[in-house]
Structure formats: structure tokens, C-alpha cells
Structure 1
Amino acid sequence: MLLYVVKVILFCVYASVCLCSTEGKIILKKNVSVSAVLVFGDSFVDQGNNNYINTIGKGNFLPYGKDFLGGKPTGRFSNGKTLPDLLANALGVKDYLPASLDPLIKDKDLQTGVSFASGGSGFDPLTTSQTSAIPMSVQLDMFKQYIGKLKKIIEEEATNTIINNSVVVVVAGNNDLFLSLPIRRLQYDVPGYANMIVKLVLNFIQEIHTLGVRKIAVFSAPPIGCLPVLRTLGGGLHRRCADKENNAAQLFNNILRQQLKYWATSYPQSRVAVIDYYNPLISIIENPRRYGFDVVDKGCCGTGEIEVLYLCNELKSTCPDDSKYFFWDGFHLSERGNNIIIHHILQDLVNNLF
């Protein structure tokens, strides 16, 4: 047992990071020590958990996953790798991050992290009542069960070492702003709703901190109004970015950043950071050729204007070269889109957490 703990500690001390990909190589300013990557949230980071629950929000059919290992759909909402895969790889942990509910997951894979995320999830209970996704509160319960499994595999001391040296990523709130805010407008104005969701975020962060997590990266909301579906629904005849949705996302992000900064003052031994997910997407959307994209207002699947989930299926044609498309479907990024985003945020994430 002592030998195992020593191995874990040595791994954490000597792990170093660089991001190598078709987009070039990033040399980080700091060496970092990461034992595991643990992810919570929605479809941007769902690695296939929705395959195992009763929901229509699945991505376990072609053309989803057509560029993944062997061209096999896994439930990831993209043509290939997603943010959790690319981040785990960039942090030197492993090549692919599995879904927590995957029945084939091996004990050794559990020790380096999983995703608890569920497509359609959110902090507002109204959100998951609409989507039948796994609520964030249940994802927290799944994390507790995960800790229990680890303790059975490697005992308590080694488990605590892994959790303490893990990086936790939270990507949620997007479906709350997209799906539930319009319904809640009779109860809340936009600032009131944003404050309500941020309070739920803080409660969530407090819970995972209590369970031993010490490095937490919370992604801000993206420019929701620029997602292809939102352009179609709210961008007018010319499908411009929908200002109302983008303004709500920016307000939420400002409140989130302020409140998390205040929360962090009570826990100086921990590191929590808001990772800017908004401006990198805007930068790419406004300067597509700079990043090698031809199309940033449509997805690769079908017309690219509305298709998402079951509307994006084998019967729909796909674009001839998905590497030229920032979005894979009407809502989610292509693998190359995710890769570019990781290049934007990785140094900031490391600087803030280490």
C-alpha cells in the first residue's frame, strides 16, 4: 500500500505538460502535476453518459464519432475528440477521458479520471426536467460513488492523494441560459436569473471542495447567440449572432467571475478559476481564416443551420471536409474546433490552477 502511495506522489511530482497536435505545439510556462481529470457538466463535455440513461439527447449514432477511433460513435457530441479528451491529453494524464457510466471502464482508467457530464444538463432543475439529462446534483452523487469505488480499489489514502491532485472541470449553465431562462422570465429578469444560477454553481463548487478537490476550473458560458441553432432561431434573415442570448451569457460570466473570486478568498489553499470560454469562440467566429476555418456560422451536419442530436443522423449529408468547419452540428464544436479552443485556454488554465 505504501509503495502505491509513493508511486502516485512521484507521478504527480514529475508529470509535465505540453500540447502537441496538428495545430502546432504549445510550451507551457509551468510544469504541472495532475493525477486525474474529473469533468462535470453538459453536452460539451459528455463522453457518453447519456448512452446509459433514458433521454433523447444522445450522440451514439453516425455521423457522430465518424472521426473518432475506428469511426465509432461513443456518445460524444462531435465528429471526434471533445474538450475532456484534449484537455486530459494536454495535461499529460491520458489520451481519452471515459464516461463515468461506461460499464466497460477499467479500474486503472478510474484512477486517472472520468466525465460525469450529461448532454442537456444544467444547474436549474427546470432544465433537466425538459431534457431528462443527469442533473448536476446527481452528477455530484456520481462523484461520491466514484470516490467510494476508488477507496475499494486503492484504499483511502491513495484515493485522497488522487482527488487532491486532480483537476476538476465544470462546463454547465449553457442549457439553463438557452432553455430555461426564457421560461423563467415571469419569475426573474436576466440579472436575477444569472445570480440564481451562479449561487447554484457556488454551492456545487463548495460540495466538491468538501470532498477533497483543490483545483477547479469553471468554464464561462460561450457566446450562445452565435451557435448555429441560435443564429437560425434568433438571428433574423441573415442569421447573425443573437444579441439577446450573448448579452445574457456575458452578464452571467461577469457575475460568475466576481462571485468565484470572492469564494476563493475563503480557501487560499485551493485554486479555482473561471476559464474564458466566451472570447476565444468570438475570436474564431470573427476571424475564421486566421484559424483555418471556412465556415463558422453553420455546422457540418446537414444544412448546418438546425441539425443537432437525432436531427443529425446517417440520413443527413455531411460537409466534405469537417476540418474547415468550426461547428460539427448546430450546437457543438468539431474536433478541430475543440482543439483550437484548447490552445486558447490551456495556458490560462494552468496559470490559474498551478
Structure 2
Amino acid sequence: MGLQSNLLALLFSLHIFSILLNKANAKVPAIIVFGDSSVDAGNNNFIPTVARSNFQPYGRDFLGGKATGRFSNGRIPTDFISEAFGIKEYVPAYLDPKNNISDFATGVSFASAATGYDNATSAVLGVIPLWKQLEYYKQYQKNLTAYLGETKAKESISESLHLMSIGTNDFLENYYTMPGRASQYTIQQYQTFLAGIAENFIRNLYGLGARKISLGGLPPMGCLPLERTTNFMGQNGCVTNYNNIALEFNGKLQNITTKLNQELPGMKLLFSNPYHIMLHIIKKPELYGFESASVACCATGMFEMGYACSRGSMFSCSDASKFVFWDSFHPTEKTNSIVAKYVMEHVLAQLLE
């Protein structure tokens, strides 16, 4: 009799847990993504640009071993976040014709590799600027309204997590590489310029009904293998200046978060900062089961990404899970999962309260 009552109690507690879990999941019906290659699920496959990764060895550890256009050997952070919310295993790319509004209703990525806050950044490799991602989002809202009806669509938009991950390219691909912006702005002025774009973008999302927004910070960009490879004077260590700029810019994004939460009624703007967890992984890779943090898995691991990875794939590592970075700019699936778990537990879990 005691065993039976214990079993009933266990089943009842599991039932209550599943109800709570369903309630939590219902709080975030979809993940809606804006940004760069850190969260591009393959949109660049469908525009004329060299900033692509829809070929082997990219995606070799993705479901079915397929190169989707994600800049990794497998899934990217937004895929893991979507799964953590109990939605689905991966977030599809908006421009992929295989998908339609029934797929996008529970998650969609408008992100484009090599883009930035600054339109001049997206122009470097002819990718989708942030303003265009917003236009796609407006189009998406119309399609969602037609699919769900106006009331349900509005409710879905207000409850969905709008996730932004962008900014690294503005500094590494644009400011420190191209002549234009560096002649117009000091680095501090440029940070202020970008922060203004970020704030306006969030205000636009709010005006379109978004209420749950994650503003992503910059990683320690001076520790990317590409930057370490070219840091001859610093014995191929992390570029301190770039890391300091990432910290400064993250401070500005944190200030925007505080300001807009106070100004905009009903807003839940969260600052998701990957900097410290990424730096910890890079400085102490062995604690996470990694063998290398200074060079990447793809090709020589020193400077290749995109098509250079394809050509040099004969040199690529056999086990990406031993590497923090997949190519010279982007983390492996394992690193993405660790960072996503950290952000989920320390920041995004607030959306389930």
C-alpha cells in the first residue's frame, strides 16, 4: 500500500511539474532573431555574397550532417536557446524557401553573417543590413496575422523572445579594416554611434509590439583565432585593446538596457552578455573538456573562415568538440551550447518567472 501511494505521489508531482513546464513554455511561444553570423541560420545562402557557409565541412555535426549556412560545425546559440524554452531544436532562416509561416510561427532568424549595426558594415560584403532585417520582420508580422488572426498574432509577438546578437563586425570588419569610419569617428565616438543605432532598433521593435528582448553583448573579440594569429607583437596572445573595446561597448549596451526598461512600459529588456563566460572558456579550456582555444578546428585553424575553410578542409580536425573555435571567427557547437546554457540560466530564465 505504501509503495502504491508513493507511486501515486510521484506521478502526481510529475504531472504538476509537466503543467508548470507547459506554462513556462507557453510564456515564450517563439524565438525571433536579429543579428550577424553568430545567429545566421542560413539567410546568406539566398543573397549574392561570399559570406556563406553552406558547404562542407560546415554543418558536419548538424542534424543529418548538413551544411545549412550556420557558421559552425553544428548548432548555434539560438538553436540551443529555442530548445531550452521547449520550442524546437533549431530556429529556421527566414529566406529559406523550404520554410513557411507555420514553421516561422514558433521561431525565425532574420540574421545575416557579416552584418552590423552600421549600414557601412553590411555594405562591405553586400549582406542584409539591420534595417532590412526589421523590414523582413514587419513582413513576417503580416504573415503571422494572416496565419493566426490579429489577436493571437499580437499576443504571440508580445510574448515571444526577440533576440539580438550583433556588433563584432562593426569593429573588426569595418572600423579597424576599412578606411571610412575610422576617419570620421574616434573609437569612443563610434561606440556611441553604434549604441544609438541599437537603442533605436529596440525602440522600433517595441513600437511593433515586442516586449521581451535580449540585447546581446560582444564576446572578447581580441581572443578570436584570427586576431591572435595576426598579433605578432603580443606572441599570438589575445589583443587586449579589442577586448577592452568590447567591454566598453558592453557597458553602453548595459546602460541602454537600464534606460529603456525605465522608459518603456511593459518592456522586459535583458542584457545577455557572453563576454565573461567566453573569456573563461578561452583562458581555462581544459575545465570544459577542450584541448585548444588559440587555433580553430577548420583548416589550419589560424585565419580561415568561409570558403577558405572549404578549400583547406583536408587539414581540419577530426573532433570539433576538442576545440573552442570552429573557424577563425566562430565557436564550435560545443562552445555554443555552453554559452547558450550560461545565458539561459543567468539571464533568460527571468522570462519563465
- On whether the aligned pair clears a TM of 0.5, the verdict is yes
1:225 to 217, 222, 226: 222
Q: Is the 8 A contact 1:224 1:246 kept in 2?
A: yes
Per-residue deviation at 1:165? 0.8
Per-residue deviation at 1:185? 2.1
- Aligned identity (percent) is 38
Q: Is the 8 A contact 1:285 1:296 kept in 2?
A: yes
Amino acid at match of 2:329: F
Amino acid at match of 1:59: S
C-alpha separation in 1, matches of 2:339 and 2:169: 20
The alignment yields a C-alpha RMSD, in angstroms, of 1.7
Q: Is the 8 A contact 1:32 1:350 kept in 2?
A: no
1:206 to 203, 207, 215: 203
Q: Is the 8 A contact 1:171 1:220 kept in 2?
A: yes
Per-residue deviation at 1:47? 0.1
Per-residue deviation at 1:235? 5.2
C-alpha separation in 1, matches of 2:322 and 2:233: 25
Structure that is richer in helix per residue: 2
Which piece of structure 1 moves more, 187-196 or 236-245? 236-245
Taking structure 1 as reference, are residues 38 and 31 closer, same or farther at Cα in structure 2, changes over 3 Å only? closer
1:241 to 234, 238, 243: 238
Per-residue deviation at 1:213? 0.6
Per-residue deviation at 1:315? 4.4
3-state SS, counterpart of residue 216 of structure 1: strand
Show the counterpart of 1:337: 335
Show the counterpart of 1:346: 344
- Taking the TM superposition and a 5 Å limit, the aligned residue runs for 1:190-201 are 190-201=187-198
Show the counterpart of 1:141: 135
- Taking the TM superposition and a 5 Å limit, the aligned residue runs for 1:174-185 are 174-182=168-176, 183=179, 184-185=181-182
Note the residue ranges of structure 1 that are not aligned, 5 or more in a row. Answer: 1-12, 18-29
Q: Is the 8 A contact 2:221 2:242 kept in 1?
A: yes
Per-residue deviation at 1:15? 6.8
1:127 to 121, 141, 144: 121
Amino acid at match of 2:344: L
C-alpha separation in 2, matches of 1:147 and 1:156: 10
C-alpha separation in 2, matches of 1:188 and 1:258: 21
Per-residue deviation at 1:106? 3.3
- Taking the TM superposition and a 5 Å limit, the aligned residue runs for 1:159-174 are 159-174=153-168
3-state SS, counterpart of residue 231 of structure 1: helix
3-state SS, counterpart of residue 295 of structure 2: strand
- Taking the TM superposition and a 5 Å limit, the aligned residue runs for 1:1-354 are 16=21, 33-182=27-176, 183=179, 184-234=181-231, 236=233, 238-313=235-310, 315-316=312-313, 317-353=315-351, 354=353
TM-score scaled by length of structure 2? 0.90
Taking structure 1 as reference, are residues 113 and 247 closer, same or farther at Cα in structure 2, changes over 3 Å only? same
